[in-house]
Structure 1
Amino acid sequence: MKEVCSYLIPELIRYCEKQKLSGVHFLFLNKEESETLSEYGFVTRLSHQYHWINPGYSNFEDYLQAMKSKKRMQIKREREIVKSYGFEIKVLEGNEISKSDMNSIWSFYSDTHSRKWGSAYLNRKFFDSSFETFLDRIVLVLAYREGKAIAGTFNLRKGEFLYGRYWGCLEYYPHLHFECCFYQLIEYAIREKIKVFEAGAQGEHKFVRGFPAMPTYSSHLIFHSGARNAIERFLKEERSHMQEMIQETNEHSPLKRVYTNGLFVNEVLNLRPTDQESYES
């Protein structure tokens, strides 16, 4: 990382200054990357997301046993309700995925964004090219009724990390969202020995299902000295408040033990897929 930055960052800064741009911004870094960028004048912004951490579960029941009893029973009830619908739910990856499956995902995505939840920023070409160019990274969860896919999620895998991206459905069924977005993928992550499942931004509904608040990092370089000084002061104060918020939030976790301060999580937070293997693949 340091060697790459020694070549890349000075040239990037020179280019941006020449183009009279206001600044340079890197999002979703790990802690080590943000610390490296600070050597070039970048200031770190600390935020958080809710991530599922795998301390070495053997099966889904292990995960349930890690939860406090009230939330454990809630999850079991939700899964029983979904089971009563009689749907066939499949987790598909790589060559198991057909063009028809991707067509279903596109229909879910476009239907979701045609409603009140905002405009679609991805088009059909994105899903088609994903199928053609990095099928080995795609993980789908599809719910079928009488052989027809009616709901599903589009997810990406990189090594020991799983990223939940898009959910959609053609018909609403209570708790089906949790089954497809969380529980099926937690089962998959346990089977595949995935260390971290990042299910997307926002969502306290993730926290109550065993996704602790985890720090996320971004780095920012502002060229205007007045603006830079003001932003640096704000971010310094914000970091202090954010650290307290993450700690206080996790004190109320439904998990009996939250893996946010141990060696395991320190390893996880620095195990982003941005090492040499990432540059080559």
Structure 2
Amino acid sequence: MNDTLSLTTHASVAEIDPQTWDDLGDGNPFTTHRFLLALEQSRSVGTGTGWQSLHVTLERDGQVVGALPLYAKAHSQGEYIFDHAWAQAYTRAGGRYYPKLQCAAPFTPATGRRLLARDAGAQAALAQALMQLTERVGASSAHITFCTENEAAIGTAAGFLPRVTQQYHWLNRGYGSFEDFLGALSSRKRKDLRKERARAQDFGGTIRHLRGDDLKPHHWDAFWTFYQDTGSRKWGQPYLTRAFFDHVHQTMREDVLLVLAERDGRPIAGALNFLGLDAIYGRYWGCTEDHPFLHFELCYHQAIDHAIAHGLARVEAGAQGDHKLARGYEPVPIHSLHWTPDPGFLRALDAYLLQEREAMGAEIEALAEFTPFRRGALQE
């Protein structure tokens, strides 16, 4: 770093002016000051969670020109870019993998800017600063996960190793309605999805979209029940605390869309989405009653409805889930960056990631052949 740049670490995002932080971002809800603060104030991150805030600001001539949402990690949970095998190998070799530094939106497998800055020069400086900070604090490694493709190029030029994984996203190609979208599918797939939606909506109740002041405390009570049920079945213990949803209600209710299924006036299932400038992000789902295809309706089809109605470019429906492919969600590459000051470990990771990128490229290409679109529809 040149002499005009200075780096400051912060034990809480509360130490940083909210407007200064948000002005550096791209409108992604998961790196806003209010989202990161909600995680901290609700104790979803912090002491005892394995996510210790170590946010970074970068100043040039006394003005903040860059920032990193950064955490010192004591484990590899809640990240969705899996490095457990790396941790095991490093430990077997006699190293100490934790703590590591994680530049990320905790518990959130959604792509967005991570090198928060006004220009590419400041982004490159942030990447170099993270490498220096990793050595300074004695961390084993640094990881920038779910970054943009442009950031992946900037980080690679700075010395990070690029990694490519895969998710399913729904891409809006100017559809005027859900029927327009169905028109791009093969005849059989189009019929299948119409039947699926009809059966899902025949659960004996109504589906509501709630946002902003339409959201009430009792809606969050119901969703907390859904979230706990899903969390306990998927990973044993939910990551977020109940207080997190109260903070979201206070400071982010315009940033969320709760799709709620009610029967006899009682919520029985719900899907919580966050809203960006050009995307809707499906994050959490749960239910207290099982009904055929209701999960697909609330999480995937209703999100598509919202994206079309509001002119959003895509739906990101979270990690994993090959079942999304049949519902018009397409395989897309996901980018992350990784670095370690250990030269032997860095060489081993480089060799591994080269092979993984080649295999992932082939997998994405193969998966694209199984989308439900009729031949030529994506080129129209």
Which TM-score applies when normalising by structure 1? 0.88
Equivalent in 60, 84, 89 of residue 202 of structure 2? 84
State the distance in 1 between where 2:293 and 2:274 align.
22
Q: Which amino acid aligns with 1:70?
A: R
Aligned residue runs from structure 1 range 6-155, under 5 A: 6-115=124-233, 117-155=235-273
Q: CA deviation at 1:179?
A: 0.8
Question: Secondary structure at 1:22's aligned position in 2?
Answer: coil
Cα distance in 1, alignment partners of residues 300 and 344 from structure 2:
45
Given the two structures, how large is their TM-score scaled by the length of structure 2?
0.66
- Out of 180, 195, 214, the residue aligned to residue 313 of structure 2 is 195
Instruction: Say if 1:46 and 1:217, in contact at 8 Å, map to a contact too.
Output: yes
Q: 2:271 touches 2:284 (CA, 8 Å); kept in 1?
A: yes
Match status 1:239 vs 2:349: no
Distance 1:117 1:16, change over 3 A: closer
Q: Deviations over 1:28-75 (max 9, x none)?
A: 112111000112100100111000000100001011111112221111
Assess if the C-alpha contact under 8 Å between 2:184 and 2:377 holds in 1: no
Q: Is the 8 A contact 2:124 2:154 kept in 1?
A: no
* Secondary structure of the corresponding residue to residue 115 of structure 1: helix
Shift of 1:3: 2.8
Please give the secondary structure, in 1, of the residue aligned with 2:372: coil
Partners of 2:126 and 2:350 lie apart in 1 by 23
Counterpart-to-counterpart distance in 2, 1:95 and 1:10? 43
Partner SS for 1:185 = helix
Q: Residues 3-50 of structure 1, C-alpha deviation per residue, up to 9 Å, x if partnerless?
A: 332442333222210111111100011211100011210010011100
Structure 1 residues 163 and 236: CA distance shift in structure 2, 3 A: same
Matched position secondary structure for 2:210: strand
TM-fit CA distance, 1:203: 0.5
Q: 2:344 aligns with which of 207, 226, 236?
A: 226
Please point out which of 172, 175, 178 is paired with 2:296.
178
Give 1:47's aligned amino acid.
T
Range with bigger deviation, 209-218 or 86-95: 86-95
1:198 is aligned with what amino acid?
A: E
Q: Deviation of residue 206 (structure 1)?
A: 0.3
Distance 1:4 1:36 in 2: 10
Greater helix share, 1 or 2? 1
Question: How far does residue 116 in structure 1 lie from its aligned partner after superposition?
Answer: 5.6
Specify the code of the residue in structure 2 equivalent to 1:216.
I
Which one-letter code corresponds to 1:153 in the other structure? A
Q: May I ask how many residue pairs the two structures share in their alignment?
A: 261
Consecutive unaligned residues of structure 2, counting only runs of 5 or more, are 1-118
1: CA distance, partners of 2:233 / 2:354: 39
Q: Is the 8 A contact 1:26 1:218 kept in 2?
A: yes
Task: Tell me, in whole angstroms, the C-alpha distance in 1 between the residues paired with 2:177 and 2:282.
Answer: 20
Residues 162 and 337 in structure 2, CA contact (< 8 A), matched pair in contact too: yes
Give the AA of the match of 1:177.
H
